[in-house]
Amino acid sequence: MVGDVPTLKCLEVVFNNVISLAIGFIVLVLFIMFVVGSFQYLTSLGNPERVKKAQGTLKFALIGFILFLGSYLILNTICFLFLGGIGKDCSLMKFELPGP
C-alpha cells in the first residue's frame, strides 16, 4: 500500500494468504476423510456393504493425498530443475509481482 491506496503489490499478500488457507483446508479435509473412513471400517462389523463403503472412503482419501503431495512435489521439482531453487525461496511457491 502506498499511503491508503492499494497497489498491485497488495495482490501478493492476498494470493499467498489464499494459497495458505487452501493448503490448510485440504489437509484438514483429508484428515477428516481418513478418520471417517477408518471409523466406518472399524464399525462395519464384517458387513460387506459397509466394508466396501469404508474402503471407498479410504481409497478416495488416499487418492486425494497422492494428488496433493504429487502437485507439491512437481512444483518443487520444476523449481529445482529450472529456477535453481537450491536453498532459497522458489518463485513458484510464492506469488510475486516484478517491481522496479
3-class state of residue 94 by DSSP: coil
Query: Of 73, 40, 74, 67, which Cα lies nearest the Cα of 56?
Result: 40
Instruction: Kindly report, residue by residue over 51-85, the tens digit of the pLDDT.
Output: 999 999 999 999 999 999 998 888 878 878 877 76
The CA distance from 94 to 90, in Å, is: 7
Q: What is the pTM of this model?
A: 0.72
The CA distance from 65 to 37, in Å, is: 14
Q: Determine the pLDDT at residue 46.
A: 87
Cα distance between the two ends of the chain = 15
Higher pLDDT, 17 or 21: 21
Query: 93 pLDDT exceeds 80?
Result: no
Tell me the residue type at 7.
Answer: T
Tell me the residue type at 88.
Answer: K
Higher pLDDT, 84 or 22: 22
- Report the pLDDT averaged over residues 80-99: 66
Query: 13 pLDDT exceeds 60?
Result: yes
Query: Exposed, middle or buried: residue 48 (CB in 10 Å: 0-12, 13-18, 19+)?
Result: exposed
